[in-house]
Structure 1
């Protein structure tokens, strides 16, 4: 059994026609027929059966097919990875980021990267999600790098600070706190409060701020994503403490500075400690780290 026999088997299984399969493989029909017969002889079972002019997989062929296709796909992926190690200036980077970084932060970063000499041919695939979702994908190796909040219980993940965001109190237009120069977190207790869901990277940070201020507002709901939170605040459902991200200025809300001393809120670049990093991914990582943390606008 050899690689060509397996490729011939898959092509014939998918076309169900000797002539079409042979043309697709750029070989003659007798050569294809001989290769398939040799494969069947080696395995000791028939893989195909004829019905009129067409050919179909037998029950053994149907059992064998998914194993062969998976093996060939893994082999192709391995070859692509090996080729990628020789070209740090070419290749594909799978990049994940939290939703709020999709408005200006990531687009500006990618544009600057592509405008740097030697990076023009590097391609990106993007995926968005919550911090927990993206960290899961990073550990599963479906993404190469992630921009997200830091998570305390992930010992295999390195978090590099890349963007600083200030936290603000967000209230609806016309709210009693809307026109204040600043507000202490103790003062928000009388008002319905919208909190971040535990799956959000912001949950523990806001909880810590409220505890330090001895503030215990009435939580009316938990929300996972910043835009949804801003929408509920704009609708008058409650107030919230959240990052002052770009699109907040386009909602019917007011952003009020917080008087309490607050920790700096960073967005991080997350990298898995134990996964092999392709040169093209390493090139982008180094580009991001060279810029240092900067303030979101």
Structure 2
């Protein structure tokens, strides 16, 4: 009975799955603000990171209440709301022929070996679509899941790569180029299964995220 009363008061556990890049600031900031907004409630979070496919698998298996990741495939029938965007950039090793540039058209990268996200990463479809939009076939030399690994491989000369901008890039021996064409933004979403009952505390947190964020391209309030 006590657990029922706690749930009715909006107390309980909120299980989140998230992309690692969103665990640096975005999700922790939201969770912290939510706790500060409800100091009288007994609220707890769990945080689990992974690539989009593993997060969606976990959501399907009810391991998570909400996940923050790339857009889920329509076949899953999940509810997805855009909550953030990431700018995509091209990174190249120092000394690369493109390293003297500040901006680049993606078509200009075609002659060079590239490091791609593997197909389990939600961003892979975004980058694939960018190359498809310009009718260009990239030379994929390596594939891996994590953007940090891609950045490290690029810094060591294994290839060039399209990645989300992150502060880590500034610490590596890389040149960061803005991509002029095609469009190079990645939307990130808060996803849940609307067919599954969400405990009141999860419902309240989800609404808090919606109230605290606006459409991609805008800033978090």
- TM-score w.r.t. the length of structure 1 is 0.68
Whole-Å Cα distance in 2 between the matches of residues 96 and 211 of structure 1?
Answer: 30
Whole-Å Cα distance in 2 between the matches of residues 81 and 135 of structure 1?
Answer: 28
- Could you give the per-residue CA deviations for residues 171-208 of structure 1, whole angstroms, max 9, x where no partner exists? 11232212312101111111111111111101111011
- Structure whose CA Rg is larger: 1
Whole-Å Cα distance in 2 between the matches of residues 277 and 206 of structure 1?
Answer: 33
Picking from 8, 14, 22, the partner of 1:93 is 14
Deviation at 1:227, TM superposition (A): 1.0
1:242 matched to which residue of 2? 163
Count of aligned pairs between the two proteins:
217
| 2:52–2:121 Cα contact (<8 Å) kept | yes
Whole-Å Cα distance in 2 between the matches of residues 153 and 116 of structure 1?
Answer: 34
- 3-state SS of the aligned residue for 1:268? strand
Alignment of 1:125-274 (within 5 A): 125-262=46-183, 264-274=185-195
Whole-Å Cα distance in 2 between the matches of residues 119 and 109 of structure 1?
Answer: 18
| 2:105–2:182 Cα contact (<8 Å) kept | no
Deviation at 1:83, TM superposition (A): 4.1
- TM-score w.r.t. the length of structure 2 is 0.90
Indicate how the Cα distance of structure 1 residues 295 and 200 shifts in structure 2: closer, same or farther if over 3 A, else same.
Answer: farther
| 2:86–2:186 Cα contact (<8 Å) kept | yes
Richer in strand (by share): 2
Deviation at 1:222, TM superposition (A): 1.2
| 1:84–1:278 Cα contact (<8 Å) kept | no
2:25 matched to which residue of 1? 104
Whole-Å Cα distance in 2 between the matches of residues 245 and 127 of structure 1?
Answer: 20
Structure 1 unaligned blocks of 5 or more = 1-78
Deviation at 1:265, TM superposition (A): 1.1
Alignment of 1:20-99 (within 5 A): 82-88=4-10, 90-99=11-20
Whole-Å Cα distance in 2 between the matches of residues 259 and 151 of structure 1?
Answer: 27
